[in-house]
Amino acid sequence: MVLEIKNLSKKYSREKYGLQNYSLLLEPGILGLLGPNGAGKSTLLKMIATVSTPTEGNIQLDGEDIVGHPDVMRAQLGYLPQDFGVYPNLNAYEFLNYMAAMKGVGGGNLKKRIELLLEGLNLIENAKRPIGTYSGGMKQRVGIAQALLNDPKVILFDEPTVGLDPQERVRFRNLISELSDDAIVILSSHIVSDIDTIADKVAIMKEGKLLAHDDLHSIIDVVKGKIAVTSMNKEALADFKEKYIVIDTVRKKGEIEVRYVDVDASSEEEVTLEDAYLYLTESN
Amino acid sequence: MRRIFTLTKYDYLQRVRSYRFLIIFCASLAFAYTLIPAPGDTYSTVRIGEYLGNYNSAWIGYVTAIMASTFVSLIGYYLINNSVKVDQDTKVGQIVAATRISNFRYLLAKFLGNFLILLTIVILIFLVGIVLFFMYGSGYPFQITEFLTAYILIPIPTIVLISALAVVLEVFLAGRSALQNVAYFFLFAIMLVQGSRLAVNVDPFGVGFPTSEMESQVAKITTDSKKQQLNIGFIIGQKPIEKRFDFNGVPVSPLYITFRLLWPLFGILLIYVASRFFHRFEVKERLVVLKKTKSEPSESEKSLSEDLDLTSIPKLQKSMSIFPVFKTELLMMIRRGNRWLWGLNIIGMVLLAVLPLEAAHKIVLPILWFLQVHRWADLVTKEKNHQMHFFIFSSFKPAERLLTAQWLAAVALAIGLVLPLIIRYLVLGQWLLVVSILIGAVFIILVSSFIGILTGGKRLFEVLFFFTTYMNVNGLPYTDYYGSINNSHNYLFLMFGLTFVLALSSFLLRRFELKKV
């Protein structure tokens, strides 16, 4: 299965682009989509999910144009949008039955599949309560359940860990890593730790443009040798920030330890995806 | 005071910038244009027996002011009945609740926002009235004071009262929008009927005194009491009204002015009383806590399972059936609103079974259907209201499958409710009437669907449905969509054609909407 995004643009007004000339080729595995707020991550996912139409360019799934034929994608899509609601008067069983019908799936296994998903997502005990009474994390899990309902081959998670507590986030990451064998999973987030443990590949975006797309280690290697650490007082920090890209600051015994990018550093400092992400987004 | 002004200003701006307001504004423009019939037209809006006033400033000013007072109170309420609810839905209310603003000041700001919305419509009608004066000018001098007096005394105090009532109903019936709609429907009917029975000065809409003055001026021309009878509303005749009289305006009495001032003061007093009971946005949280305490999940249940093996979950088959969607849509409609509203529905169904056929068909049926306004008004917009549209619009063939299921579910509910009447007609062999009711059910659902998709909201349908039901209950033939008055074959074909056009338009609009999300 191949998902090909070719020269994709979404124009909101004469000069405002949500996404500009974006191209990407994806095969089964997990792509971590990183970018600051407003980078165009949700815009891209909406277009892949066929709920938004590109202004230019096209998206092909196994060679079929999904902009012109959205049902090709919809038949095998699992999508968890960033902001979503639920029908508060339905319980989890009813909601998932409804969503299964909307997705065009059913049959004798439906009840069993819904039960197993609810069980796996630890919603079974509360499955008969109206969803309107659920907490934010529980609603998020209902959203995850509906995304996995139709055994999708293209799975889009837009900021999926919002509302989940730290334990749930870890378990969610374990869950989606299971999906990567035969499905294309795109996981969008601005939280680097959501991505760096599970993504096979990483795409970094800013202001609607693709800054980098490569496997995780190659992306991290971009900043290898360029990260340095120094200490200074509070007053000097403002001037320092004008000269260097500051990754992190830690207050230590009246001084501030600063982790920053210095392209000439040739340092031995261990680098992370967060370093690479900040370097790429700040330097472009 | 400055804080109230700021709150009011942004509340007003937020509401007038909506697409829905634009549509209501345009509808009001069209309505205002029809208030004064063009020379040669065969209808009237305000008429005294067989007499119509000459088109001088006083007549045009008072007629448009009287119509504005009743029209804006009738449908304007549905434009402004959610100002507090919007703050609750958007969570802005929680931020407001955490500020130092008092309940009274907050509600006063909401009331002023409501008032400004209605005032905008009244000013529009006022300006159209002046334009019509010059368009149909029959040689009379333009007297702005006649227009101003009429508008200041008639619609302005009325909209102050309606704006206050909207806030008060939102406070006392918080979270029960269906009940608010029904309560206002009856309140309006009581104010209109009982108001006219009170002394002419006391009428809350302010139309009693000027219309009695019109009647007395006609009484000087003719002694026939039938020819002095007031008729308000769109009445279509066979030929243009030829008998005219010179209306000289209303001699404003201190008693009339006092009562016109008392109604707005009464409205503000009601707001003050309501502010003592205002929930300050605690309602929803309290409900959730109550429900949570019934079956609070344990700590272990709150997290994702570590044992979920996605590979072991059975796979599903393709299924194009829309029956589960239909079933859930019907279920959601049935569960909407308060349970006791179903008590009213059952009473309505019993009345359909036992009342004389004419009363059941002409009066009970439209009221029973109107009671479902909250269920049908957001039939096709609830996906967006509940932020479900990204799920729904990325599903398989959403335009064809979901829209069809929604129509079928809503029509099933409409037909189910009036089944006792349908059975009675079937027993009597009144096939034409049965078909009329069935087409009426489909028609009203498609109107809600078309308007919902077009405007993206439920407000315009609520307004139209309220207006239509009011006309239906009063036996006016023009809005009879369910064959209680018009039940010829030709009329059925017309309704069938309209229904088909609505269905096609809704479908095409939804497909277009899906493409431009």
Residue B244 clears pLDDT 80, i.e. is over it: yes
**pLDDT tens track for B335-355:** 887 777 888 999 999 999 999
**CB < 8 Å to A75, chain B:** 396
Q: Please count the residue pairs, one from chain A and one from chain B, whose beta carbons lie less than 8 angstroms apart.
A: 180
**Within chain A, which residue ranges are assigned CATH 3.40.50.300?**
3-215
Which residues in chain A show pLDDT less than 70? Answer: none
Residue B249 clears pLDDT 50, i.e. is over it: yes
Which of B311, B391, B511 should be substituted to probe chain A, the one whose Cβ sees the most A Cβ atoms within 10 Å?
A: B391
pLDDT at residue number B287? 41
CB contact under 8 A, B324 and A50: no
Average pLDDT over residues B217-224: 84
pLDDT at residue number A215? 92
Q: Report the alpha-carbon distance of residue B85 to residue B281 in Å, rounded.
A: 9
- CA nearest to A52 within chain B: B517
**pLDDT tens track for B156-194:** 999 999 999 999 999 999 878 778 888 898 888 888 877
pLDDT at residue number B293? 41
Residue B517 clears pLDDT 80, i.e. is over it: no
Task: State whether B113 and B45 are in the same domain.
Answer: yes
Count structural domains, chain B. Answer: 2
**CB < 8 Å to A126, chain B:** 295, 297, 301
**CB < 8 Å to A98, chain B:** 324-325, 328
**Taking the complete model, does pTM exceed 0.95, yes or no?**
no
Looking at chain A from residue 109 to 168, which residues have their Cβ under 8 Å from any Cβ of chain B? Answer: 109-110, 112-113, 116-117, 119-122, 125-126, 129-130, 132-133, 135, 137-138, 141, 146, 148-151, 164-165, 167-168
Domain limits for position B345? 323-516
**pLDDT tens track for A93-133:** 999 999 999 888 888 899 999 999 998 888 899 999 999 88
Q: Is residue B137 domain-resident?
A: yes
pLDDT at residue number B198? 67
pLDDT at residue number A268? 81
Q: Is residue B76 domain-resident?
A: yes
Q: What is the ipTM of this complex?
A: 0.78
Which of A102, A111, A185 should be substituted to probe chain B, the one whose Cβ sees the most B Cβ atoms within 10 Å?
A: A102
pLDDT at residue number A179? 77
Residue B273 clears pLDDT 60, i.e. is over it: yes
**CB < 8 Å to A162, chain B:** none
Task: State whether B257 and B339 are in the same domain.
Answer: no
Q: How far apart are the first and last CA of chain B?
A: 41
Residue B462 clears pLDDT 50, i.e. is over it: yes
pLDDT at residue number B313? 81
Task: State whether B24 and B170 are in the same domain.
Answer: yes
Select from B46, B45, B243, B35 the least CA-distant residue to B131: B35
Of B245, B275, B305, the one marking the end of a domain is B275
Of B275, B305, B336, the one marking the end of a domain is B275
Task: State whether B178 and B49 are in the same domain.
Answer: yes
pLDDT at residue number A273? 92
- CA nearest to B291 within chain A: A133
Residue B464 DSSP SS3 = helix
Interchain CB contact of A107 with B (< 8 Å): yes
Token pair, residue B145, equals 């004071």
Task: State whether B239 and B387 are in the same domain.
Answer: no
**CB < 8 Å to B307, chain A:** 120
pLDDT at residue number B315? 84
Name residue B509's amino acid. Answer: L
Instruction: Say what angle helices B19-33 and B431-455 make with each other, to 10 degrees.
Output: 120
Residue B15 clears pLDDT 50, i.e. is over it: yes
pLDDT at residue number A92? 94
- In this complex, the residue of B292, B305, B517 whose CB is nearest that of residue A133 is B292
- CA nearest to B393 within chain A: A51
Of A152-156, B162-166, B230-234, B365-369, the least confident: B230-234
Which of B389, B396, B400, B512 should be substituted to probe chain A, the one whose Cβ sees the most A Cβ atoms within 10 Å?
A: B396
Name residue B153's amino acid. Answer: L
- CA nearest to B326 within chain A: A98
pLDDT at residue number B474? 75
Checking DSSP bridges between strand B317-318 and strand A105-106, what pairing results, if any?
antiparallel
Q: Is residue B507 domain-resident?
A: yes
pLDDT at residue number B308? 66
pLDDT band at B243; cut points 50, 70, 90 = confident
Asked if B35 and B62 touch (Cβ cutoff 8 Å), the reply is no
Task: State whether B444 and B343 are in the same domain.
Answer: yes
Average pLDDT over residues B463-474: 84
pLDDT at residue number B71? 86
Asked if A149 and A92 touch (Cβ cutoff 8 Å), the reply is no
Instruction: Say what angle helices B155-172 and B144-153 make with each other, to 10 degrees.
Output: 20
Asked if A247 and A261 touch (Cβ cutoff 8 Å), the reply is yes
Which of B312, B394, B513 should be substituted to probe chain A, the one whose Cβ sees the most A Cβ atoms within 10 Å?
A: B394
CATH class of the domain comprising A3-215: alpha beta
Average of per-residue pLDDT values in chain B:
87
Task: State whether B388 and B464 are in the same domain.
Answer: yes
**pLDDT tens track for B138-150:** 789 999 999 999 9
Task: State whether B414 and B348 are in the same domain.
Answer: yes
Long-range contacts of A13-16 (CB under 8 A, 24+ apart): none
